[in-house]
Amino acid sequence: MRILGIDPGLRAMGWGVIESSGSRLSHVANGVCQSDGDDLGERLLSLHNQLSEIILAYSPDQAAIEQTFVNKDGAGTLKLGQARGVALLTLARAGLPVGEYAPNRVKKTVVGVGHAEKEQVQHMVKLQLPGCRPKNADAADALAIAICHAFYGNAPTSRMREVGT
């Protein structure tokens, strides 16, 4: 099974593609979709177009995305939600079943601790996907989300919501 992981962000949306065969995982590709400019609509369209190209290039069977967490910056949370919405729409248009995971669940699955630092996530992604060189922290997080889905994504329903952290 080929899994596309998405770490949503408005300026930088991390993505990672892995292969999962039983308990064996392997790295396929990773990167970051960048959106520049001031016009929100154009930035969201840019993310959609880039993500669509990734789906065409790597033909994933399933996708996984990080759930939005609410932080103190309400405007930042709203922008993150808009980028996440574009990603979900793009995945739905491609007909991909999507798993959604809380950040703490992803970290606990990959690192073993729910409040792991970004450096720990990057390190464990490299260990679990030998030869993988994430482009940056966003790409490493996206690969971690894909790894989490490889462990939890075989639920009987195609649209899986994470319950708890």
The answer to the question of whether 66 is labelled as a binding residue is yes
CA distance 43 to 14: 15
The answer to the question of whether 73 is labelled as a binding residue is no
- Check 42, 53, 66, 162 and give the catalytic one: 66
Please report where in the chains the tokens 């959106």 appear, as a residue: 35
- Check 7, 100, 141, 162 and give the catalytic one: 7
Q: Is 7 a catalytic residue?
A: yes
The answer to the question of whether 141 is labelled as a binding residue is no
Q: How far is CA 53 from CA 1, 56, 86, 149, 159, in A?
A: 19, 5, 14, 22, 23
CA distance 119 to 136: 10
- Check 42, 61, 138, 141 and give the catalytic one: 138
Give the catalytic positions in this structure. 7, 66, 138
Which residue positions form the known binding site for Mg(2+)?
A: 7, 66, 138
